[in-house]
Amino acid sequence: MKQLVIKEMESGQRLDKFLGKYLKEAPKSFIYKMLRKKNITLNGKKADGSEKLQKEDVVKLFLSEETLEKFCGTVKQGEKTALDIVYEDDQVLFINKPVGMLSQKAEKEDVSLVEYLTGYLLDTGSLTEEDLRTFRPGVCNRLDRNTSGLVAAGKTVQGLQALSQCFQERSMHKFYLTLVKGEVRKAAYIRGYLWKDEKRNRVVLCREKRQGSLPIETKYEPLAVSETGDTLLKVQLLTGRSHQIRSHLAGEGHPVIGDFKYGDAKVNEVYRRKYGVQHQLLHAWKLEFSQMEGALEKLSGRDVTAPVPKLFQDVLKGIKIEEMKR
């Protein structure tokens, strides 16, 4: 018999989800059969799997050591690298992701921010190897590999759920900084539709709705215009579609500098030769939180800001722009 006492970080999830993680090699039918036969119990009673787990609940598995060994499988460890943590509490943390790092795996063999996050939490003692059998830390927003900036992550089930809900309900304000081609003198609130061209792996901006397209809303305001006639923008993302900022600004005639998919090739080449720019100058800069409760209570009324990467700063300095803190 194996006894599991639910920890704070594991509470808030359904029993069947918890068991699916612990017995990750077992088919769902086996888990539900064991629940029906009371070979798996919750607080000494029969359970059907839909119960929400609370801290200090006791799950007992009346299974042989051979069965447990077969269905628990091995625990994958995290990877180690230095992470730029800009905010952390007992529920969540925010990382300033560098250009070149994946937010989540695209292929099985990839190493992403999630693996580095797991390594960090193991090193700091926020997680143990045994915890990883029933809980995996995760990120709640994704940035393109070559976009830098804030990625929000949950250290507990409650933190993950609350942050994910925040992003889904857009209950925080998301701001980016980007350098774009051309002069922008006025703030704007732009709307449109994005349609995914699967063959070319890019999105297309549409003024009118078409089959398969999704509505987008973006606000921006100019912070400064450079000597070269290009503009530093503060962008507020009101919807969160793939490549939204890059495609939307390109559709407005102000593509992001360094964007080799949606940008201006001649302008990009100038910045590549002069400053070594080989990726879009787009940075997830700030998250503003209103009144928060529960797992996010410590974020109430706070801003979380990620400093701009050195290359971006060097470019702004070179074109006589100082990053504006607002």
Active site residue 144: yes
Contacts of 123 (CB under 8 A, 6+ apart): 80
Q: Give the three-state DSSP class for 265.
A: helix
Is-contact 112 101, C-beta < 8 A?
A: yes
86: which 2 tokens? 């800009």
Q: Give the three-state DSSP class for 291.
A: coil
**CB-facing half-sphere around the CA of 293: CA atoms within 13 A:** 0
Q: Hey, which bits of 155-294 come out as E strands? A: 172-180, 188-197, 202-206, 214-225, 231-237, 282-289
Give the separation between CA 203 and CA 60, rounded to whole angstroms.
Answer: 50
DSSP assignment string, 124-150: HTSS-TTGGGT---EESS---TT-EEE
Give the separation between CA 90 and CA 127, rounded to whole angstroms.
Answer: 11
**DSSP code of residue 14:** B
> Which one, of 78, 77, 59, 56, lies nearest residue 17 by Cα?
59
Which one of the listed residues 57, 144, 259, 264 is annotated catalytic?
144
Query: Which residues pair with residue 193 across a beta bridge?
Result: 206, 215
User: End-to-end alpha-carbon separation of the chain, Å?
Assistant: 58
Is-contact 140 295, C-beta < 8 A?
A: no
> Which one, of 239, 250, 168, lies nearest residue 202 by Cα?
250
Which residues carry out catalysis?
A: 144
